[in-house]
Structure 1
Amino acid sequence: MVLTAEVDLPQFSTLTVPEVNLSTSTLMSAAPYLGKHCESINNEFMLCRQETNDPRSCLELGKRVTACTLQLFKNMKKACLHEFKQYANCIDKSSGDYGFRHCRKTQAVLDCCMKDKLGLERPHVGHFCRGRVHKSSCAPPRPPPCPCQPIVPDPTPSLPDSKPRYPPRLGSRFYFMTE
Structure 2
Amino acid sequence: MVITKEVNLPEFSVLNVPEVDLSSATLMSAAHHLGKDCENINNEFMLCRMESRDPRACLHLGKQVTDCTMQFFKKVKSKCQHEFNQYAHCIDKSSGDYSFKKCRKTQAVFDKCMEEKLCMVRPDFGYFCRARVHESKTTPPPPDPCPCHSKVQDPTPSLPDCKPRPPPRFSSRYYWMTE
User: Shorter-normalised TM-score: what interval?
Assistant: 0.7 to 0.9
State the Cα deviation string for residues 52-111 of structure 1 (Å, max 9, x = none). Answer: 000000000000000000000000000000000000000011111111111000000000
1:141 shift after superposition: 2.8
Alignment of 1:144-163 (within 5 A): 144-146=143-145, 149-150=147-148
- Relative to the length of structure 2, the TM-score reads 0.80
Could you say which residue in structure 2 is the equivalent of 1:156? Answer: none
Q: What CA RMSD, in Å, does the superposition of the two structures yield over aligned residues?
A: 1.5
SS where residue 100 of structure 2 aligns?
Answer: coil
Could you say which residue in structure 1 is the equivalent of 2:132? Answer: 132
User: Which amino acid is the alignment partner of residue 142 of structure 2?
Assistant: P
- Please tell me whether the aligned partners of residues 52 and 143 of structure 1 are also in contact (alpha carbons under 8 angstroms): no
- Alignment: residue pair count: 150
Instruction: Report the identity percentage.
Output: 63
Q: Which runs of 4+ in 1 moved over 2 A?
A: 149-152
User: Is 1:108 aligned to 2:114, yes or no?
Assistant: no
Q: Distance in 1 between matches of 2:149 and 2:78?
A: 56
State the Cα deviation string for residues 120-164 of structure 1 (Å, max 9, x = none). Answer: 0000001000001111102x43233146x4479xxxxxxxxxxxx
Alignment of 1:30-109 (within 5 A): 30-109=30-109
Could you say which residue in structure 2 is the equivalent of 1:142? Answer: 141
Q: Distance in 2 between matches of 1:81 and 1:111?
A: 12
SS where residue 17 of structure 1 aligns?
Answer: coil
Q: Distance in 1 between matches of 2:149 and 2:90?
A: 55
- Relative to the length of structure 1, the TM-score reads 0.80
Give 5+ residue unaligned stretches, structure 2: 151-179
1:5 shift after superposition: 1.7
User: Which amino acid is the alignment partner of residue 57 of structure 1?
Assistant: A
Give 5+ residue unaligned stretches, structure 1: 153-179
